[in-house]
Structure formats: structure tokens, C-alpha cells
Amino acid sequence: MPDASDVEGLTVGQVSARLGVTVRALHHWDEIGLARPSLRTAAGYRLYTAGDLERLHRIVVYREIGLGLDRIQAVLDDSTADVPGALRAQRTQVAERIERLQQLSAGLDRMIEAHERGLLLTVEPQAAIFGPQWNPDWPAQARRRYGDTAQWQQYAERSASRGPEEWQAVTDAMADLDRALGDAMDAGVMPGSPEANQLVERHREVFASYFPLTRQMQVCLGRTFETDPGFAAHYDGIRTGLAAWFRRIVDASARTHGIDPEAAAWQ
């Protein structure tokens, strides 16, 4: 290596500051032969010439557009390398990455909106899917009441990925369950029976469309269905006494799993 006693050059630290590259990276590139300083001082310090700096500029540019170090070395050192072809291939990869990032950005926007609104449907499709009794203010009310809970977060994450068709499927599943509950009560299905317990399990599965429902939480929900005027009106509108009957079958099922309904908590 030429001696730099009579030739000016840039030290590793100076090149690092000029190019915004870490000293560690420069040392690594030196070790692998990607960019070696052409000069050394009498004291053994590395010095980069103007030609070295030009090579480093190209390395930085190629690295910023995503080329790997092996590919950069081939582009710089192989006289037969198809540089435009390599850059076009990288441009294609960059375009694909941009598209993925745009999709990710759109998904994040939907997730944020779902956390803030709960339901990403305009008023018209809400009425068409959930029926004439639906109040479009209910999601905002739920957000104010439950927005700081884990269940709201889980609900929002499910909501973010749903459009009208997915919400229609959820609504249809709930309606089918309501009819099955009414029919079972009419048929005299007893709490604690296999048929009743099967309906309780089906309720947990269907309700998981909103958020995961533990058995203790289901007991609390059954209690709410019976005592809350809005929920009681819904279930008793299907069959008179259905809200109370549903609570009984949930409590009986809970007991078979070692849960005391009177002590059940939302957990």
C-alpha cells in the first residue's frame, strides 16, 4: 500500500462523518474487500483517496436502494456485470415493497379507525345488516363505555378486517342461535342437559366473533341479558322468558365446569 507521507487523504473518522456511515461499517467493508483505503500514514492510519471516496459514495447509494453487499461488490468489480439490469431488478423489488407498505398503511388506518369507532360501516349498510331496531349510535356509546378494555381492543381488531359480507355472516349466525334458543325453550330443554350445554357452547363460539368469551364472562353476560332492559327486551321479544331461561342454562353449564355463578367475575 502506498505511503501517504506526502499525499493528503481522509481518515476513517472523516469519511464516516462525511458520508453518514459508521466507522464500524467502514472497517467491515475494508475487511471484506468491498472498500479498502488506498493509503496509510507512516503511523499506520488508514486514509481514503478521492477515488476511494467515489467508490464509497456508490456503495452508500446502492445500499440505500436495497442491494446486498455481495451484489454491490459484483456491480462495482465485475466488468461484465449488467448494472442497469441489476438496478431494474432492484427497482421492481422496491416497487413491490412500496405496494406492501401501502397495504400495511391502509390496514393501520382501518385498525386505528376501528379502535376509535368500533364499526367501519356507514349508516345505510348498518341498517340493512342489523335490522330496523339497530341504533347507529350504539358503537360510539360502546366505545365510550368500554374503550379502555381488552375486549374492546379485540372487538376492534376483528372489526377492522370486516366488510358488509362478513358482518352479515356474523349477524346471521347470531340470528340462527337466537332461533335455536327459542326453539329449545319451547321444547322444554332443561338447564344442565346435554342439549342445553351444547347451546351454551354454541353461544360462546358465535359470540367469539366479537371477542373471546370465557365461561365466567359468559355467566356475567347471561346475568346482564336478564337484568338489562335492552338485552331482556331483545331476548324476551324472541320468546317470553327467554332471557331468564338463557341465564339458567349458562349457570347450569358453568357449574359443570366448577364455576359458581354467584361468584363469577368478568375475567
pLDDT at 265: 93
How crowded is the C-beta side of 255, counted as CA atoms within 13 Å? Answer: 11
Cell of 246: 338463557
Cell of 126: 348498518
* Residue 37 confidence class, pLDDT cut points 50, 70, 90: very high
Alpha helix positions (H), the chain: 12-19, 23-31, 50-64, 69-77, 83-117, 123-130, 138-146, 150-160, 164-186, 194-207, 215-227, 229-238, 242-256
The more confidently predicted of residues 245 and 74 is: 245
pLDDT at 183: 97
End-to-end CA distance of the chain: 72
What percentage of residues in the chain have a pLDDT greater than 70? 97
pLDDT at 190: 97
Query: Exposed, middle or buried, 26 (CB in 10 Å: 0-12/13-18/19+)?
Result: buried
Size (the chain), residues: 267
For residue 152, is pLDDT > 70? yes
Please give the average per-residue pLDDT across 66-90, as a whole number: 85
Average pLDDT for the chain? 90
Please give the average per-residue pLDDT across 86-114, as a whole number: 88
Please give the average per-residue pLDDT across 231-244, as a whole number: 93
* Residue 4 confidence class, pLDDT cut points 50, 70, 90: very low
For residue 7, is pLDDT > 50? no
CB atoms under 10 Å from CB of 62, counted, come to 21
Distance between CA atoms of 117 and 94, rounded to whole angstroms? 34
pLDDT at 53: 93
Of the listed ranges 103-117, 180-194, 233-247, the least confidently predicted one is: 103-117
Distance between CA atoms of 202 and 226, rounded to whole angstroms? 19
Of the listed ranges 82-91, 141-150, 190-199, the least confidently predicted one is: 82-91
For residue 5, is pLDDT > 50? no
Nearest to 25, CA basis, from 54, 67, 79, 63:
63
pLDDT at 139: 86
Distance between CA atoms of 222 and 243, rounded to whole angstroms? 8
pLDDT at 217: 94
pLDDT at 136: 87
- By the 8 A CB rule, do 16 and 26 touch? yes
pLDDT at 14: 93
Distance between CA atoms of 192 and 248, rounded to whole angstroms? 9
What percentage of residues in the chain have a pLDDT greater than 90? 61
Please give the average per-residue pLDDT across 107-114, as a whole number: 88
For residue 163, is pLDDT > 50? yes
For residue 172, is pLDDT > 80? yes
Cell of 90: 432492484
pLDDT at 9: 87
Nearest to 203, CA basis, from 262, 254, 128, 237:
254
